[in-house]
């Protein structure tokens, strides 16, 4: 007798997908911030547009300057 298991209803599977989506959104947000920094946009404007903190934008700016 074969066992069947509906993976899409598994809580761990769902958590993994949610975590992956969150990581993807964060990577995209970082890419947008980097592009706006390259265009010499102010840190305050970038934080407002991307709905992040100025501290987060400054951190990315510091990483770019290294």
The pLDDT, as a whole number, for residue 6 is: 84
Domain count along the chain = 1
The pLDDT, as a whole number, for residue 55 is: 97
What is the domain extent for residue 39? Answer: 13-65
* 18 assigned to some structural domain: yes
The pLDDT, as a whole number, for residue 24 is: 96
The pLDDT, as a whole number, for residue 51 is: 95
The pLDDT, as a whole number, for residue 3 is: 82
**Entry pTM:** 0.78
Taking Cα atoms as reference points, which of 18, 53, 49 lies closest to residue 32?
49
The pLDDT, as a whole number, for residue 26 is: 95
* 2 assigned to some structural domain: no
Read off the pLDDT of residues 3-47 as tens digits, 9 standing for 90 and up: 888 888 889 989 999 999 999 999 999 999 999 999 999 999 999
Q: Are 30 and 60 in contact (CB under 8 A)?
A: yes
């Amino acid at each position: 007798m074969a066992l069947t298991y509906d993976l899409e209803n598994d809580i761990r599977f769902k958590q993994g997908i949610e975590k992956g989506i969150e990581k993807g959104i964060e990577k995209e947000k970082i890419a947008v911030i980097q592009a706006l920094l390259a265009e010499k946009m102010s840190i305050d404007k970038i934080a407002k547009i991307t709905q992040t903190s100025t501290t987060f934008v400054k951190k990315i700016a510091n990483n770019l300057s290294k």
